[in-house]
Amino acid sequence: MDEMFVAASGVGRDFSDGNLDRVTVLSDVDCDIGSGARIALVGPSGSGKTTLLHILGGLDKPTSGRIEWPGLGPFEELRPRNIGFVFQSPSLFPALTAAQNVSLPMILAGAQDVAERTAASILEAFGLGELADKLPEELSGGQAQRVAMARALAIRPKLILADEPTGQLDSVTAQLFFDTVLERIENTESALVVATHDEAVAARMVTRWTLKHGRLKKAAAPSNEAG
Ligand SMILES: Nc1ncnc2c1ncn2[C@@H]1O[C@H](COP(=O)(O)OP(=O)(O)OP(=O)(O)O)[C@@H](O)[C@H]1O
Ligand SMILES: [Mg+2]
């Protein structure tokens, strides 16, 4: 049976700009994320994708409406155990190697015993094994993004929120990378939400959420056979 991981209703988010005017980024957004969801979050630059992902991940609070995480445990336990977050901006710890970065959430969640081995194997699965001992400053932007995605997936969170994870990859590398991402969560209850400008990546999701003028529209992904 489908389990509900996140339920958001009437969510709004506005910010004050430099002149203390309010700017509405999200208004009256209703959305649910259930187990096994595969959602592409699309919309023009500045349409609020990052803002919505941060709210869904409990990193930011809506200014109106409600958000709950019924299937993901109490708020304090959302991250890193139950929600894996891949940030749009560089997020690897600069003093830690790629492998140590991937191990860290597992160590924080109390899985020290398997952290090192799991980190090595997931980096290998992503074709990043040779980068394991490198520091973030020695990685290209696209390599760092893939390491950040591996870090989010390693702990097998129930929900993965990824903010433009292929933004710095060429289209062939992006597709191969996504093969591995989808394989990793196939036949699990994990849900995946990907904010993306990459239509080829968006087409591999089952559901498409489009943000425009602060509103969220939901539809089946056009190229997905599941329709
Ligand atoms: N902390 C903040 N303070 C003020 N305005 C903000 C803040 N965070 C985001 N905004 C504004 O909210 C709007 C949406 O930003 P957001 O980063 O969510 O867009 P996005 O869809 O992720 O864009 P992109 O595709 O470029 O990543 C923008 O106009 C941005 O300036
Ligand atoms: Mg963004």
Give the sign of the dihedral formed by CA 223, CA 225, CA 226, CA 227.
positive
| DSSP character string of 140-194 | -HHHHHHHHHHHHHHT--SEEEEESTTTTS-HHHHHHHHHHHHHHHTTSS-EEEE
Pocket test for ligand 1, best of 25, 41, 88 (most atoms within 8 A of CB): 25
Q: Is the CB of 45 under 6 A from ligand 1?
A: yes
**Tokens in use for 196?**
């993306």
Name the residue among 185, 159, 162, 195 with its Cα closest to residue 80. 159
Q: Is the CB of 190 under 6 A from ligand 1?
A: no
Residues 118-145: tens digit of each pLDDT: 999 999 999 999 999 999 999 999 999 9
Domain architecture of the chain: domains with CATH? 36-57+74-220 (3.40.50.300)
Pocket test for ligand 1, best of 24, 50, 61, 89 (most atoms within 8 A of CB): 50
Question: What pLDDT sits at residue 103?
Answer: 98
For residue 73, report the phi and psi dihedrals to the nearest 5 degrees. 80, 180
Give the sign of the dihedral formed by CA 206, CA 44, CA 179, CA 97.
negative
Q: In what order do the strands lie in the sheet with 4-16?
A: 22-34, 4-16, 64-68
Residue nearest to atom 6 of ligand 1 (CA): 15
Query: Which residues does 88 contact at the CB level (< 8 Å), separation at least 6?
Result: 50, 163, 164, 167, 195
Band the pLDDT of 227: cuts 50, 70, 90. very low
The CB density around residue 98, as the number of other CB atoms within 10 Å, is 28
Average pLDDT over the chain reads: 95
CB 136 within 8 A of CB 98: yes
- The pTM is what? 0.95
Q: Is the CB of 46 under 6 A from ligand 1?
A: yes
Ligand nearest to the CA of 44: 1
Q: Which residues pair with 122 in a beta bridge?
A: none
